[in-house]
Structure 1
Amino acid sequence: MRPKEIQKKLGINADRIKLFKREGVFTPENPPSGNRGTDYTESDFKNLQFLVVLTKMGLTCSDIRKMQEGDCTLEEAVNYRKTQIEADMEKKRNALTSLSDLLQNQEQFETFHTEHYWDIITERESKGEEFIDVEDMYGYRSVSLIRTVKCPYCGDESEIDLEDYETGTSSYDNEIGMGEDMVYEFDTEDNLECPKCVRKFRVSGWIREYPMGAYDSEDIKVDELADDD
């Protein structure tokens, strides 16, 4: 089967198959060679169909990889993922209840009774309830952007936090139930100085996080800067 044919049969796009390959949970029997594209077999179709079903049910590629490697059973993976999803749903239910209270009480932004709701949420949290937090809404960066870089002049190594030089982020939903794909871009320009030889150099590139909270890949360049004089 040609790529477009198998994508049509499965109702997925090329990115989904690329992701399965990249995550190490799928390898086609007849990979591309020279000018010939991938020739998918019936076995490939069955394997991909299996992966699509599992991911649509909420299992992640990480879960699947662990099962393929014999690190856990399907039952263990399902129980773990159910716990994660149920915890997330509980937070959302609590948030929905709180939002309904705001509407029922006809709260206004300008006269919002912060202390009142603070006390309510604090009391409920003391009883074990959880609420949506900023990391749930905006993707808390649990992947560190701290890296050790080597000065291109003297070779001295120093640790820098690339978050301080972030120039932007980009994200999109990979459509397989694993959340957003986040890419953090950074460029120190001429703002980084070697603590040993006191010469300026530049660090630029990106770090990719996928799924949220999990390191995926990076491309970091360390370059000399032309002398100011």
Structure 2
Amino acid sequence: SCFEYQFPASPEYFVGRKHFLEKVDSYVRKVINKETSSRSILFEANSGWGKSSVVLACLARLREKEHFSVAIDSRSASSSQFILRAVDYALKKFGDFDCLISEEYRSKTITGFEGAVETLLLIGQELKRHNKVMFIFLDQFENLFFLHDALKRVRDLFFKVQDAQTNVILGFSWKTDLVGLTSEFPYRIRDDIADSSERIPLDTFSNVETNALLDRLSQEIQATLRKDLKFFLS
């Protein structure tokens, strides 16, 4: 069901917010046409506003356009090895990138941080030749704000990817209503990532989107909804 609140919406149930997907389309075109130096997009929103659903919709959109995209749940992070495992997972998932990447690059073994960077840059350069991009989304990224070593590794890898200007893009999504309760909250590292990213804040649903959502709900339960329900959702 598209109304299981505890889970992100599957792309087939994604309602509204098409303009966010259009922003991603525009951003990808800028990367391919060398019109931006950014190599990251950032979805920001309060808790429960659908960041993960937007990420999943973006994955589907990118794959539909024959790009490569994967989402990693950052709640799985426990050490500085997180980003290395994420990169390794992404590369194994895509294999030969639909025959775009030669065995020479695919056979490289990731042996550490520098190895992960080198492999990503080589593959990004090959994708650039074919006007393709690879997105690695790190969803629920706020969980890394409390794992300083892991967070720093992600920031460092991101900077190296951005400096190289290949067609590898990191995606981030995190809560904006998460505040640091201690002086150790990593504002600087968080801001390093945010300030270098294409920031896409998610706002509340518009009237048109709310109506579309209520229409979908009415179809789901096969019943007419109360007329004042829209008021309570606005």
**TM-score normalised by structure 1 residue count:** 0.25
Higher helix fraction (1 or 2): 2
**Which one scores higher on RCO, CA 8 angstroms, separation ≥ 6?**
2
Larger Cα Rg: Structure 1 or Structure 2? Answer: 1
* Structure holding more strand per residue: 1
